[in-house]
Amino acid sequence: MALDQDTYDQLIDTITRFVTERLRPLEGQVAETDEIPDDLIEEMKELGLFGLSIPEEFGGLGLNMTEEIGIAIAMGHTSPAMRSTFGTNIGIGSQGLVMAGTDEQKAKWLPKIASGEIITSFALTEPSAGSDAASVKTKADYDEAKGVYRLNGSKRYITNADKADLFTVMARTGGEGARGVTAFLVPRDLPGLSVGQPERKMGQQGAHVCDVNFDDVEVPAENRLGAEGEGFKVAMRVLDRGRLHISGVCVGAAERLIEDMVGYAGEREQFGKPLSDFQMIQAQIADSKAECMAARALVEQTAKKRDAGENITMDCAATKLIASEMVGRVADRAVQVYGGAGYIADYGVERFYRDVRLFRIYEGTSEIQRSIIAREVMKAGG
């Protein structure tokens, strides 16, 4: 482990209390205002949450994947928007830099990312390039005389874009397909870069997504991340890791929903006895618990394989598919157990029902995960 066991146990205990005592009481407020309070963000920075996965030499905690999954599960017990506040800093917004950055790039950016002074964002999706990520149309033309790449194009549904100071941008420097895509580190303050208004969404209020537009943005050549044509490879490595993290959040959300179901079923009476005495209610809870336990075991197993240096492309796809589909079923059962109350905003179950729906879409839809699994299985079979 990156941390000794006692230190890690203390960290988990601290974050669990933070979730219970500080975050959960504010879930309704965040959903209503669509904003995370500034004081909460500062507390997250003080806890080191913005640097969980950043190497210690750059000011982060340097957690391995198994340790990070434990944090993700703990954070899953509150509104997903809370975790999203620092999620891009420790995931898709920083890991391309950690994996493929030069020593100079890392020294320049990672310490400020780890402290939360810089918020990062990952700009891959476009109006015509979602699941088909290799078809990005944003162009990056090299101006040899000035030593810059000129970026032109638009990105869509970019998480934390309205707060981001640094974007990891995938743009086309070559021909069609994956081999023509290159990654760039693009500061927000470069002339020609603009960010649209946050989109109105079904759920996860407090976590914003926006369009990002590039109009002749001059990006210094030293801000290229890796070699030309390696951007798609970088993106896929980042997404493998991100899918595993999100799977941990799904498990945590399911555990929270099961706790809520059990609590409500024990208190609510019908026909003179608590709901928990009815076998069909017990079946809803039992199925949810069994599926959640199975997903958690798969998440933890895959994290250990990643820490051991194994190829986990198929494992990450399978883990995200299982975990994200599982939490959707658990949320649906929770609404059913609550009955009419589950459809009313006061109880929060309907909010989670909407919040967890996104897990089956971002960082690769369930359909994309199935395609990856099938491809890897057939490849292994010759």
Measured on CA atoms in the order 7, 10, 12, 18, is the torsion positive or negative?
Answer: negative
Active site residue 363: yes
> Which positions ≥6 away from 103 have C-beta within 8 Å?
none
Count other C-beta atoms under 10 Å from residue 19's C-beta: 20
For 7, the 3-state DSSP assignment is helix
Strands (DSSP E) contained in the chain are 120-123, 139-143, 148-159, 166-172, 181-187, 193-195, 209-220, 224-225, 269-270, 273-274
Instruction: Say how far apart CA 34 and CA 202 lie, in whole Å.
Output: 12
Instruction: Say how far apart CA 207 and CA 129 lie, in whole Å.
Output: 22
What string of pLDDT tens digits covers the 382 residues of the chain? 578 899 999 999 999 999 999 999 999 999 999 999 999 999 999 999 999 999 999 999 999 999 999 999 999 999 999 999 999 999 999 999 999 999 999 999 999 999 999 999 999 999 988 788 889 999 999 999 999 999 999 999 999 999 999 999 999 999 999 999 999 999 999 999 999 999 999 999 999 999 999 999 999 999 999 999 999 999 999 999 999 999 999 999 999 999 999 999 999 999 999 999 999 999 999 999 999 999 999 999 999 999 999 999 999 999 999 999 999 999 999 999 999 999 998 889 999 999 999 999 999 999 999 999 999 999 988 7
Q: What does the pLDDT read at residue 349?
A: 96
Going along the chain from its start, the domains and CATH numbers come out as 5-115 (1.10.540.10), 120-229 (2.40.110.10), 233-380 (1.20.140.10)
For 156, the 3-state DSSP assignment is strand
Instruction: Say how far apart CA 22 and CA 47 lie, in whole Å.
Output: 13
Return the CA Rg of the chain: 21
Q: What does the pLDDT read at residue 1?
A: 52
Q: Check: CB of residue 277 under 8 Å from CB of residue 40.
A: no
Q: What does the pLDDT read at residue 4?
A: 87
Q: What does the pLDDT read at residue 264?
A: 97
Amino acid at 205: Q
Q: Check: CB of residue 245 under 8 Å from CB of residue 320.
A: no
Give, for 234, the enclosing helix (H) or strand (E). Answer: helix 231-267
Region class of 348: left (phi > 0), else alpha (psi between -120 and 50), else beta: left
Region class of 281: left (phi > 0), else alpha (psi between -120 and 50), else beta: alpha
Measured on CA atoms in the order 58, 61, 63, 69, is the torsion positive or negative?
Answer: negative
The catalytic residue among 67, 255, 300, 363 is: 363
Instruction: Say how far apart CA 147 and CA 321 lie, in whole Å.
Output: 43
Q: What does the pLDDT read at residue 82?
A: 97
